[in-house]
Amino acid sequence: MFYREAGQFKTSYKQYMQAFPIREDRIGIAIWLAIALFYVPFFGLPGLEYTFAMNAIMIPVVIFTITAIGLNILVGFTGQISLGTGAFMGVGAYACYKLTTYFPDVNIIIIILASGFVSAAVGAMFGLPSLRIKGFYLVVATLAAQFFLEWCFIRVEWLYNYNPSGAIEVPQREVFGLIVTGAAAEPATRYLMVLGFLILLTIIAGNLVRGRVGRGWMMIRDMDIAAELIGVRPLRTKLSAFAVSSYYCGVSGALMVFVWLGAAEVESFDVNHSFLYLFMVIFGGLGSITGSYMGAAFIWTFPILMKEMGKRLFDIDPIIMENVSLVAIGALIVFILIKEPHGLARLWQLVKQKLRIWPFAH
Amino acid sequence: MLKKLITGALTAAVAITASINAAQAEDELFIPMLSYRTGPFAGGGIPFANGFHDYLEMLNARDGGIGGAKVVLEECETAYNAQKGVECYEATKGKGALVYNPLSTGITLQLIPKAPVDEIPVLSMGYGLSAAGVGETFPWTFTYPTSYWSQMSSILKYIDQNGGLKGKKIGFIYLDAGYGREPIPLLEQLAPEMGFELAMFPVAGKEMQAQSAQWLNVRKERPDWMIMWGWGAMNATAIKEAAKIRFPMDRFIGNWWSSAHADLVPVGETGKGYIGANFSGIGTDFPAIQDIIKYVVEAGNSQADPSTVGNVLYNRGVYNAVIVAEAISAAQKMTGKKSISGADMRMGLENFVLDQARLGELGLAGFTGDLKGDCVDHEGGGSVFFQQWNGSDFVKISDPIAPMADVVKPLLEEAAAAYKADKPEWQGQTCG
């Protein structure tokens, strides 16, 4: 009824291959984009204070969506489990810091995009063991990357310009006369900047996964021997997945520190964060870009909304709510893994299916 | 199922929208409390949060607030996590926050650049960025009563007074993170000047509870004194390991985050003789602490276990609250207003006087050394004293030992200059 592709004929190959072949999907995306671009930067979220909605919810959600898409490329599309996400984000952040302090006059957007390449190189290097080992063994190898990089962030003082605080402190940078990093940046500017990155990277990721490269990743995931037999090169495919995934993580790490946090110690890139990002991907749906959006938004906002609800509706102590939301997230992950292993993305597909045939049951 | 979900979500959304917070009432002093009662460091975060909360609640119950305005506290849980710290900051700053006590170096570093923009001062009491003690560079940040560098210089002075430093070997065991590494430049500078030898023993965050390797090295190096910059589980582990290699406890000095009851109670008799630096009085023998017990703890308004009242970290929380309260009343006097703003609070923090006479009036005679707010000096006078563990409790063993200001100040100024070097837009202040 609401979702009906009957009557929408494709008359050319180009139409058939477009990213959203169904008209309703296109309308839906346009509405979401309009809300994200024209409503949120000016009004925030309904019921929440503006700067809180922007700085504590929207900006981090957009940044973590980039992380989730990156991790999903590796875990969901290529089937290589990684626990080094936090550290790869750190590589991006430290690279961005070094680059922008060396070249203070270069546009920060270019610096952020460039720092992703440093992260991609490091990611590809730590992806090398994936050619020989799989599954749990690969998890251990990426965990080693996580710990090694954390060690570097503490020990290699050059990385943080020998600051006595051992942290990277973000200098103020302007783009076209607008302050985009540092404390003086307006929330709306920062939000629109990260949103721009997200839209760009989503378009790239969407086209990568439905093209030749992405199909190679999925072949490797589904059966690597068969993929090799029909001509997919494991070396190139796996390393490209690691590189692209780390690129996304690096960009999101740089954005996290420069646009959101403003200063960061190694603690912002520790293994707990790696787990958090993995939860986002699993919860949202492995092998789905829409799922990355939903997973990041859900895992990040759920505890905050729980806390707000507890405070406003039942006047519960936030400390108790903190613990309750930890328990609830854990329980939800177990529940989702049992009931819907394909995550929120699959739930959305089911909803779509229902809408399509509504009001009939079949 | 789907229908229920949708109705549920809608109800929740409506409920949230309907309950947007009401505006501030007239005479209220809103103080956000960034605390950590969960997470790996909760053992230290809980008593501190209790002390801070209970002192201000006591002022509300006993005096009706500060200068006639009630103190409104809002606790926000950070779990010692920098990202949650941002969330807490954003959730509370719009409600008229007067001052932030971030209680974590990571969160402090994020708030330092935000403070001048939002005009809310940051009081990082004895943690955070040492350089923030330079008031001309950091008008909005305060590290009263002292910084890590001053503390280290007081510790070295204590060693010098108790057997001399010249020709001795000093071992430094530290958490291998920004916090633990902070005093290293000072140590490296002072070692040749004061004629002692230095041996470093870093402990990685993940090995906090497995330090046998480090202590094996300590046994090899045979330092005359050990100094520790630890936090959380690292402290008790280090003391146990020191006991195992029979390192003399009365030559083992912990900094003020390494010598609390939470660290020593699990060690008990083994840690007898262990020395710690501190800047806030211990025990409950102060009239103000007695008032806290009477008005807050016994009234059931405290989350603290009554036996922990008067512990090192509890009293440090109290001291933090005392500085906040004194700065508020100084600001009230200067502006003539009952409810003040963050900018007024900054003036208060630069102008309060907490000398022994004032401490006596507050019921805290002898609790700590003199502290005076100042425009140039956002660090304070030090007042670090030493305490010793007797197997079941801490006993004060020294008077306050002044830091070596002549050595520390240039280092602080150098660090402050380095901080703003790559930030051309950074705004300092000139002091008249």
- Residues of chain B with Cβ-Cβ distance to A323 below 8 Å are 38
pLDDT of residue A188: 93
A313 has a pLDDT exceeding 80: yes
Residues B112, A263: C-beta atoms closer than 8 Å: yes
What are the E-state strand segments in B58-144? 70-77, 122-123, 141-142
Distance from CA of B198 to the nearest CA of A (A): 19
Q: Which of A35-39, A62-66, A318-322, B236-240 has the lowest mean pLDDT?
A: A318-322
| pLDDT tens digits, one per residue of A83-127 | 999 999 999 999 999 999 999 999 999 999 999 999 999 999 999
Residue B216: CA count within 13 A, CB half-sphere: 4
- Asked if residue B141 and residue B152 are part of one domain, the reply reads no
* Closest C-alpha among B186, B150, B176, B130 to residue B277: B150
- Asked if residue B251 and residue B153 are part of one domain, the reply reads yes
In a domain, B187, yes or no: yes
Cα–Cα distance measured from residue A198 to residue A185, given in angstroms and rounded to the nearest whole number: 19
Instruction: Report chain B (432 residues): mean pLDDT per 10 consecutive residues.
Output: 56 50 64 88 90 95 92 89 88 91 89 92 89 91 89 92 91 88 88 92 87 93 94 90 93 92 89 93 93 93 90 94 95 92 94 93 91 89 88 91 89 88 84 78
In a domain, B3, yes or no: no
Residues B185, A313: C-beta atoms closer than 8 Å: no
Which residue, B235, B256, B278, sits at the end of a domain?
B278
Q: How much is the average pLDDT of A161-186?
A: 86
- Asked if residue B374 and residue B315 are part of one domain, the reply reads yes
* Closest chain B residue by Cα to residue A172: B423
Handedness of CA B95, B101, B104, B107 (dihedral sign): positive
- Does B185 contact A at CB distance below 8 Å? yes
Residue of A260, A319, A350, A355 to mutate for B, most B C-beta atoms under 10 A:
A319
ipTM: 0.85
In a domain, B340, yes or no: yes
- Asked if residue B253 and residue B189 are part of one domain, the reply reads yes
In a domain, B23, yes or no: no
Domain A25-357, CATH among 1.10.760, 3.90.320, 3.30.70, 1.10.3470: 1.10.3470
pLDDT of residue A91: 97
Q: Name residue A129's amino acid.
A: P
Residue B225: its H or E element? strand B225-229
Q: How much is the average pLDDT of A142-161?
A: 91
- Residues of chain A with Cβ-Cβ distance to B13 below 8 Å are 46-47
The rounded percent of chain A whose pLDDT value lies above 70 is 99
Q: What are the residue ranges spanned by the domains of chain A?
A: 25-357
Residues B178, A318: C-beta atoms closer than 8 Å: no
Contacts of B25 (CB under 8 A, 6+ apart): none
Cα–Cα distance measured from residue A183 to residue A259, given in angstroms and rounded to the nearest whole number: 9
* Closest chain B residue by Cα to residue A171: B423
- Asked if residue B330 and residue B315 are part of one domain, the reply reads yes
The answer to whether the beta carbons of residues B271 and B389 sit under 8 Å apart is yes
pLDDT of residue B17: 47
Residue B39: CATH number of its domain? 3.40.50.2300
Domain of B198?
Answer: 148-278
Residue B164: CA count within 13 A, CB half-sphere: 4
| pLDDT tens digits, one per residue of A292-309 | 999 999 999 998 888 888
Q: Which carries the bigger pLDDT value, residue A101 or residue A314?
A: A101
**Which among A55, A147, A322 has the least Cβ separation from residue B77?**
A322
| pLDDT tens digits, one per residue of A269-294 | 989 999 999 999 999 999 999 999 99
Contacts of B277 (CB under 8 A, 6+ apart): B151, B154, B155, B253, B254, B255, B256, B259, B384, B385, B386, B387
The rounded percent of chain A whose pLDDT value lies above 90 is 60
CB atoms closer than 10 angstroms to residue A117: 16
Secondary structure of chain A: what % helix, strand, coil (to 5)? 75, 5, 20
- Asked if residue B307 and residue B336 are part of one domain, the reply reads yes
- Residues of chain A with Cβ-Cβ distance to B19 below 8 Å are 312-313
- Asked if residue B219 and residue B324 are part of one domain, the reply reads no
- Does B78 contact A at CB distance below 8 Å? no
- Asked if residue B106 and residue B60 are part of one domain, the reply reads yes
- Does A111 contact B at CB distance below 8 Å? no
- Residues of chain A with Cβ-Cβ distance to B204 below 8 Å are 151, 154
Which residue, B213, B244, B278, sits at the end of a domain?
B278
Q: Which carries the bigger pLDDT value, residue A358 or residue A200?
A: A200
In a domain, B72, yes or no: yes
- Does B73 contact A at CB distance below 8 Å? no
* Closest chain B residue by Cα to residue A182: B113
Decide: helix, strand or coil at residue B72.
strand
Residues A318, B182: C-beta atoms closer than 8 Å: no
**Which among A52, A147, A263 has the least Cβ separation from residue B110?**
A263
Which residue, B256, B278, B300, sits at the end of a domain?
B278
* Closest chain B residue by Cα to residue A181: B113
- Residues of chain A with Cβ-Cβ distance to B418 below 8 Å are 163-164
- Asked if residue B167 and residue B79 are part of one domain, the reply reads no
- Does A311 contact B at CB distance below 8 Å? no
Cα–Cα distance measured from residue B309 to residue B261, given in angstroms and rounded to the nearest whole number: 11
- Does B258 contact A at CB distance below 8 Å? no
Residues A164, B425: C-beta atoms closer than 8 Å: no
Residue of A265, A311, A351 to mutate for B, most B C-beta atoms under 10 A:
A265
- Asked if residue B192 and residue B108 are part of one domain, the reply reads no
* Closest chain B residue by Cα to residue A60: B83
In a domain, B397, yes or no: no
Residues B90, A154: C-beta atoms closer than 8 Å: no
The per-residue DSSP string of A159-172 comes to GGTT-TT-SEEPPP
DSSP H helical ranges for A55-84: 59-72
Distance from CA of B327 to the nearest CA of A (A): 25
- Asked if residue B274 and residue B158 are part of one domain, the reply reads yes
pLDDT of residue B22: 39
In a domain, B35, yes or no: yes
Q: How many domains does chain B have?
A: 2
Cα–Cα distance measured from residue A214 to residue B145, given in angstroms and rounded to the nearest whole number: 58
pLDDT of residue A161: 87
The answer to whether the beta carbons of residues B97 and B32 sit under 8 Å apart is yes
* Closest chain B residue by Cα to residue A264: B106
**Which among A47, A60, A165 has the least Cβ separation from residue B16?**
A47
| A-to-B residue pairs, Cβ atoms closer than 8 angstroms | 137
pLDDT of residue B10: 57
Residues A265, B177: C-beta atoms closer than 8 Å: yes
**Which among B12, B86, B129 has the least Cβ separation from residue A309?**
B12
Residues B204, A151: C-beta atoms closer than 8 Å: yes
* Mean of all residue pLDDT scores within chain A: 91
- Asked if residue B274 and residue B156 are part of one domain, the reply reads yes
A323 has a pLDDT exceeding 90: no
**Which among B13, B38, B106 has the least Cβ separation from residue A323?**
B38
Handedness of CA A15, A16, A20, A22 (dihedral sign): positive
- Residues of chain A with Cβ-Cβ distance to B16 below 8 Å are 46-48, 305, 308-309, 312
- Does B419 contact A at CB distance below 8 Å? yes
In a domain, B2, yes or no: no
State both tokens at B345: 């609070």
- Does B216 contact A at CB distance below 8 Å? no
